[in-house]
Amino acid sequence: MSDLADHLPILRPLRDDEDLLRLQRAAAADNHLVLAPSWVIEKGGDVAGYIGLNSLPIYQGWFHTRRMQARDSLTVFNQVENLCRMRGGREVVLLLPQSSAFREIMSRFGYRHVDTVGLHWKTL
């Protein structure tokens, strides 16, 4: 009889770059993106997923339509990105509503649209 632990998912901290590479390969083979992981899920000794818990800076905002020019907006985006870099961030997420004029141009500035996702909010 096999060990019970082989049948249960185990959540453990992401250890190093080799661990990250193993996770990325497993996710790619399952047609998934790895975005700022901090914990690896293993099941039976194999990678079975990941969790990114407080591992990804997320920002959103509002820019006045008459007081902020396009160049001003890009300056602010750059300032936010630099703040994240200075705090050790390697990735950042910008939340944009469907109505945002920025949605169509963010790829020009290195942002990748990550499919349509549902944002689920819970107050604890």
- Gap between the Cα atoms of 8 and 13, Å rounded: 16
Task: Give the residue extent of every domain in the chain.
Answer: 4-51, 58-109
pLDDT confidence of residue 2:
61
Whether this prediction's pTM lies above 0.85 is answered by: no
- Gap between the Cα atoms of 4 and 103, Å rounded: 47
Q: What percent of the chain has pLDDT over 70?
A: 92
pLDDT in tens, 5-39: 678 999 999 999 999 999 999 999 999 888 889 99
pLDDT in tens, 34-83: 888 999 999 999 999 999 887 788 888 888 888 998 899 999 999 999 99
